[in-house]
Structure 1
Amino acid sequence: MLALVHRLQTRRYYDDRLQEYFGVVTRLAVLETELPEQDLEATGEYRALLDKAETMREQLADVLQHLDGDDAFLTAVKESPHGDRDTTR
Structure 2
Amino acid sequence: MATETPSVLVVEDEPDLANLYAAWLESDYDVETAYEGENALDAIDDTVDVVLLDRRMPGISGDTILTAIRDRGLDCRVAMVTAVEPDFDIVEMGFDDYLVKPVSKDELRRIVDQLLLRSSYDDQLQELFALASKKALLDAQKTDAERKSSREYDTLQDRLAVLRVQVNDTMEELLEQDGYRRVCQDIARDSILQDQDTE
Structure whose residues are more often helix by fraction = 1
1:6 aligns with 2:113: yes
Instruction: Calculate the TM-score normalised by the size of structure 1.
Output: 0.74
TM-superposed deviation, 1:38: 1.3
2:49 equivalent in structure 1: none
Q: Which aligned segments of 4 or more residues in structure 1 are displaced greater than 4 angstroms?
A: none
1:33 equivalent in structure 2: 140
TM-superposed deviation, 1:62: 1.1
Query: Could you list the runs of 5+ residues in structure 2 that have no partner in the other structure?
Result: 1-107, 189-199
Counterpart CA distance in 2 for 1:52 and 1:12 is: 19
Structure 1 residues 6-25: aligned runs within 5 Å: 6-25=113-132
Write the letter of the residue equivalent to 1:2: R
TM-superposed deviation, 1:66: 0.7
Residue aligned with 2:156, SS: helix
The C-alpha deviation readout for 1:22-51, integer Å capped at 9, x for no partner, is 111111011001101111111111111000
2:175 equivalent in structure 1: 68
Percent of pairs with identical residues = 27
Counterpart CA distance in 1 for 2:121 and 2:139 is: 26
Counterpart CA distance in 1 for 2:162 and 2:138 is: 19
Counterpart CA distance in 2 for 1:13 and 1:59 is: 10
1:57 equivalent in structure 2: 164
TM-superposed deviation, 1:68: 2.0
Write the letter of the residue equivalent to 1:31: L
- Bigger Rg over Cα: 2
Give me the CA root mean square deviation: 1.7
Structure whose residues are more often strand by fraction = 2
- How many equivalent residue pairs? 73
